Amino acid sequence: MKCPRCSGDDDRVSDTREVNGGLAIRRRRVCNRCGFRFSTYEEINPDGVVVVKRDGTRQPFDRKKLEQAVKRACGKRPIPSERLRELLDRVVGELKQGEVASDKVAELIMKELYKTDVVAYIRFASVYRKFTDVEQFLAVISEVSEK
Ligand SMILES: [Zn+2]
């Protein structure tokens, strides 16, 4: 592992633990060269999951892409990155090998965001459902307030 400070590649692991209920692993590391302490996370990335978009195009599932979309929705909201990682871990854990509709992935994200932060949920829904007018926006907001 390269040290982010001195770029040396000699480090030792001082602690390894399961986080997020065993869905991910965090390793605390210490650089043997400069003493810098940092952590790495092993994230779940499912192999062999293909996302089918609405227009029928297919592409391999890409956690990073999904993460970016979720981060955009969560921009400036008080959500720790830890929570976001956990959210993504749970969504990824629901995916099965093979083809999955992008709508399905978005629904999973929305379900998790709803429990996490309603504002982020509404933002994500507005992008995903491509709201074209205020009516649609208000419909989702009233859905949220009824729940
Ligand atoms: Zn170092």
CA of 25 from ligand 1 middle (Å) equals: 22
The per-residue pLDDT for 20 is 78
Residues 19 and 73 in one domain: no
Ligand 1 geometric centre to CA of 86 (Å): 28
Distance CA 69, CA 55 (A): 19
Q: What is the mean pLDDT of the chain?
A: 89
Q: What is the pLDDT of residues 49-58, one digit of tens each?
A: 999 998 999 9
Q: Are residues 59 and 131 in the same domain?
A: yes
121 burial (CB, 10 Å; 0-12 / 13-18 / 19+) is buried
Q: Which domain holds residue 90?
A: 45-146
Task: Tell me, yes or no, whether 80 and 127 share the same domain.
Answer: yes
Task: Give me the residue label for tokens 């993460």.
Answer: 67
Q: Which residues pair with 42 in a beta bridge?
A: 25
**Of all residues in the chain, what percent carry a pLDDT higher than 90?**
57
In angstroms, what is the span from residue 9 Cα to ligand 1's centroid? 8
* Ligand 1 mean position, distance from CA 10 (Å): 8
Centre of ligand 1 to C-alpha 1, Å, is 10
- 23 and 3 Cβ atoms separated by less than 8 Å: no
73 shares its domain with 10? no
56 and 19 in a common domain: no
CA distance 48 to 9: 31
Give the residue, 70 or 137, on which the prediction is more confident: 70
pLDDT tens, residue by residue, 91-140: 998 998 999 999 899 999 999 999 999 999 988 988 887 767 777 777 77
**pTM of the full predicted structure?**
0.74
Has residue 145 got a pLDDT over 90?
no
Q: How far apart are CA 69 and CA 73, in angstroms?
A: 6
| Domain total of the chain | 2
Residue 15 and residue 84 in one domain: no
Nearest to 7 by CA among 33, 29, 30, 40: 33
What's the confidence (pLDDT) of residue 125? 87
Do 135 and 63 belong to one domain?
yes
Same domain, 25 and 49: no
Please indicate, yes or no, whether residues 72 and 140 belong to a single structural domain of this protein. Answer: yes
Inter-residue contact 128 to 113 (CB < 8 Å): no
Indicate if 29 and 50 belong to the same structural domain: no
Q: What is the CB neighbour count within 10 angstroms for residue 105?
A: 21
CB 95 within 8 A of CB 105: yes
The residue with greater pLDDT, 69 or 43, is 69
Query: Is residue 132 located within the same domain as residue 94?
Result: yes
Residues 60, 122 within the same domain: yes
> Residue 144: its pLDDT value, please?
74
Quote the ligand 1 centre to 17 CA distance (angstroms).
22
**pLDDT of 28 above 90:** yes
Per-residue model confidence (pLDDT) at position 147: 60
